[in-house]
Structure 1
Amino acid sequence: MPFPEGFVWGAASSGPQSEGNFHKRHQNIFDYWYATEPTAFYQEVGPDLTSNFYNDYTNDLKLMKKAGIKALRLSIQWSRLIENFETGDVNQEGAVFYQKLFTAMKVAGVEPYVNLFHFDMPFELQHQYGGWQSKHVVDLFEKYAQRAFELYGGQIDHWFTFNEPKVILDGQYLYQFHYPNIVDGPTAVQVAFDINLASAKAIAAFRKVNTNPNATIGTILNLTPAYAASDDPRDQEAARIAELWSNDMFLQPAIQGKFPSALVDLLKNDHVLWDATENELALIASNQIDELGVNYYHPFRVEAPDVSPKSLQDWMPDIYFKEYQLPGRIENVDKGWEIYPKALYDIAISMRDRFGNIPWFVSENGMGVSNEERFLDDQGMVHDDYRINFMHDHLAELLKGIEAGSNCHGYFTWTAIDNWSWKNAYRNRYGLIRNEIHTQEKTLKKSAYWFNQLSRENQLPPSNFELN
């Protein structure tokens, strides 16, 4: 079966993972972390060069076209665009870079989908104010967003406020895999509210200054239904709370303008509810998204915790649920992630039935594999049939959801070109295009040819695809 007419075939990336640090005025938190603790990063590889998109974007876009990529989801770096965070004055060199990049994308026939924040808090704002712990930083983000809309509104039809806000909570404030590596559940709750508020303020700024009749604004969330380990009522309750915390805490404000009442009651009863004013709640209520980007990689399976949440312990969201590993699962062992394509169908039905069938698209889906050199042939091509199978099986489930009436209009794989991945650096490769990081030589993998046929024909090629 074909995908709907006009379905968008794209790839996703981010500024801090692809551009490199060339001519940046400020550090973000990963720049600072690497500069002060390089041993925290795999093989001590940092974000200085990444995949050199800052210098190579013209040639990179040509390779993307050969891979059938018709749209690229990328991000502006707050630390590159803005010179003075307090006033919102722009750095001219950074502003010109993005203007030239977006122009080059249009010329190349690669539609830009532009995200404003992809984990890369300017270090100065983290150090001085605590980053998203501060509502002053929320106001500064609004200024930055408005500058971006004013500068590039005529070039960009698809804007997004955040990428995966839940990962900001998990990495920075709960589980210590993003700087500043804090473990503080109540602070994570406040940060969750502040990010929702920042997104709403950016949307309000967009509505105020946008003059492009084709432009929309959304957000990008990593989603999966919370699957209970069993029918045991305790496991079912764990899944209910996990769904509230992991998905609905960002979905409902973005789409419906309100927080889930059951989550608010739980946080209030635990005396950890965020600080919020009536005006802030009203602003969130009146600034919903136009479309949703959904990142999906692996399922979220939970069971009842070993220790009752009523025990004397520091508050963390996972006092109510414990992650569960399904016995006999198919797994990407390089990441430790279960491969479960049916979740994309479940997400599609959830969007249809729970969230008003909002327009949405798969904004990230992909497979990271270590040591892909083992799959190189004599001509230097990576034969990544595992990646083809992964995309094929997920797209087959997505198509079932679309046929059932879900309003999904695109699929973006992570990623176009192998890029730098935070603490993991280049340990796992995700690209349709291989990047030899020591020489920056970039070549199409087998999956790129498969994706080209998918994009060209707008229907699934077989998973046992062979090159002509």
Structure 2
Amino acid sequence: MKKFPENFWWGAATSGPQSEGRFNKKHANVFDYHFEIEPEKFYQHIGPDVASNFYNSYQEDIQLMKSIGMNSVRTSIQWSRLIDDLETNTVNQEAVDFYNAVIATMISEKMTPVMNLHHFDLPVELYAKYGGWESKKIVELYVGFAEQCFKLFGDRVKYWTTHNEPMVVVEGEYLFQFHYPNIVDGKKAVQVAYNLNLASAKAIQAFRRLNIPEAKIGTILNLTPTYAASDSKEDQEAARIAELWNNNLFLEPAVHGTFPSELEELLTQDKVLWEGSAEEKEVIKNNTVDFLGVNFYHPNRVKAPDLAPNSVGEWLPNRYYDAYDMPGRRVNLDRGWEIYPKALYDIAINIKENYKNIPWYVSENGMGVSNEDRFKNSEGIIEDEYRIAFVTEHLEWLYQGIEEGSNCFGYHMWTPIDCWSWLNAYKNRYGFISNNIHTQIKTVKQSGYWFKEVAKRNGLKE
């Protein structure tokens, strides 16, 4: 038996905007609004209005999660639901009651609630008025929202995270046009990255001022380890810069409290460096995370760029590297992502050796597969053996990293119940539990029953 550490987290992650639905929300977030104005961009024109109906079925949903062995679950508190007046951060009592009930239900089922504060879901009014995360004003308003969450729920929620995948906000909104408002502006992207780091540090500062007993706060980063196409000097340099931008831009401030100096030099040279003050950098320096959440789906393979980095045109970070498709790679064809479980081991060792061996957990891992009904058996259960194999391989490499001393305390799958997923809506399904979005009938998949046994044993069979 490959046994995992005592009290290991076995669970899954979702988010408010992807599970709750828009029921009784006063404000639209950026994705609510994007669906309003361009529904045709969303797969089968399905938006976030109902999602997986968690707002109405949270009790049954949490009991289903518990039934397959989960001892912990991450979700998020929606800024656009909790806050009535976005300028003064007054709260909506109905939203407070809802989140209190969700937390109470998790605790009654002996599940550890993990609450995230920002999952790509900025209230759209704040984008229209201030330019969203481009503005330091949004940083201050976000900290006010975070403080309300800590005060309202901190007596029961002992694990908090400031952001989920902040790099996705940078890339989706400001570089590669897959999140509203679909801008291409490298300088704005760099400023947004800085502001998101600052917002995280300031929320941590506010959290610690409240001195909540036994509570911890971290952040959740999507880490995509960088692998060069070859040992050539040019490919290695491309990989070095890709790593600085894609991973270290958020990882270094979160854990070490400083930005990578080589990246700052590069951004200065390219005349796109953020605007920040000495005082702000002190806040970042003095308010690092207690723990780290790591979302891992696929590696990042790069090669030297075909075009010279000093070519004329809009500044984008990937002018320094091109994507490289390794011949013979394994791929989840539905999602287009390479399957490379060993990268999770590489992440574990990197955190151990370069990031203080900080406590961390796998906050997301998983595979999205389309048309899973084709795998239903005569009893109506989806036989997703491919998901069992995927998770098993990743857990085996994670176990190896833990055996070598990496301080990992949990594994969360994305996601407990099939949920709505941005522009892809319900195209690819990720859950241990299937969801018929027309009836909202939810059914445990074969992988869910398998996961229950893994959690019960706290390990993998040899």
Distance 2:170 2:284 in 1: 19
- The alignment's TM-score, normalised by the length of structure 2, stands at 0.99
1:288 is matched with: 288
- Per-residue CA shift, 1:224-258, capped at 9, x if unaligned? 22110101111100000000000110011000000
Distance 2:141 2:321 in 1: 35
**Paired amino acid for 2:166:** P
1:119 is matched with: 120
Three-state SS of the structure 1 residue aligned to 2:392 is: helix
Q: Does 1:94 align with 2:134?
A: no
Distance 1:351 1:224 in 2: 13
- Contact 1:10-1:412 at 8 Å conserved across structures: yes
Distance 1:417 1:297 in 2: 18
Three-state SS of the structure 2 residue aligned to 1:179 is: coil
Distance 2:313 2:303 in 1: 19
Unpaired stretches in structure 1, ≥5 consecutive residues: 463-468
1:426 is matched with: 426
**Paired amino acid for 1:166:** M
Q: Does the C-alpha gap of structure 1 residues 461 and 67 become closer, same or farther in structure 2, counting only changes over 3 Å?
A: farther
Shift of 1:460: 1.2
Distance 1:362 1:167 in 2: 18
1:56 is matched with: 57
Distance 1:108 1:23 in 2: 26
Give every structure 1 segment of 4 or more consecutive aligned residues whose post-TM-superposition deviation is greater than 4 Å: none
In angstroms, what is the RMSD of aligned CA positions? Answer: 0.7
The correspondence of residues 5-154 of structure 1 with structure 2, limited to 5 A, is 5-154=6-155
Distance 2:38 2:243 in 1: 35
Three-state SS of the structure 1 residue aligned to 2:313 is: coil
Distance 1:454 1:80 in 2: 35
- Contact 1:146-1:206 at 8 Å conserved across structures: yes
Q: Percent identity among equivalent residues?
A: 57
Shift of 1:355: 0.4
Shift of 1:280: 0.6
**Paired amino acid for 2:401:** G
- Per-residue CA shift, 1:313-348, capped at 9, x if unaligned? 211000001111111111000000000000000000
Shift of 1:311: 1.6
1:209 is matched with: 210
1:465 is matched with: none
Distance 2:129 2:3 in 1: 52
- Contact 1:20-1:54 at 8 Å conserved across structures: yes
- Contact 1:150-1:210 at 8 Å conserved across structures: no
Shift of 1:83: 0.6
1:450 is matched with: 450
2:328 is matched with: 328
Shift of 1:461: 4.3
- Per-residue CA shift, 1:135-170, capped at 9, x if unaligned? 000000000000000000101010000000111111
Distance 2:144 2:306 in 1: 45
- Contact 1:434-1:444 at 8 Å conserved across structures: yes
- Per-residue CA shift, 1:158-212, capped at 9, x if unaligned? 000000011111110011110000011111000000000000010011001132x
Shift of 1:37: 1.0
Greater shift after overlay, 242-251 or 103-112?
103-112
2:340 is matched with: 340
Three-state SS of the structure 1 residue aligned to 2:217 is: strand
Distance 1:313 1:25 in 2: 41
Distance 1:38 1:176 in 2: 16
- The alignment's TM-score, normalised by the length of structure 1, stands at 0.98
Shift of 1:36: 1.2
Distance 1:326 1:67 in 2: 37
Distance 1:99 1:368 in 2: 31
- Contact 1:418-1:432 at 8 Å conserved across structures: yes
Distance 1:253 1:361 in 2: 18
Three-state SS of the structure 1 residue aligned to 2:428 is: coil
- Per-residue CA shift, 1:394-446, capped at 9, x if unaligned? 00000000000000000000010000000000000000000000000001000
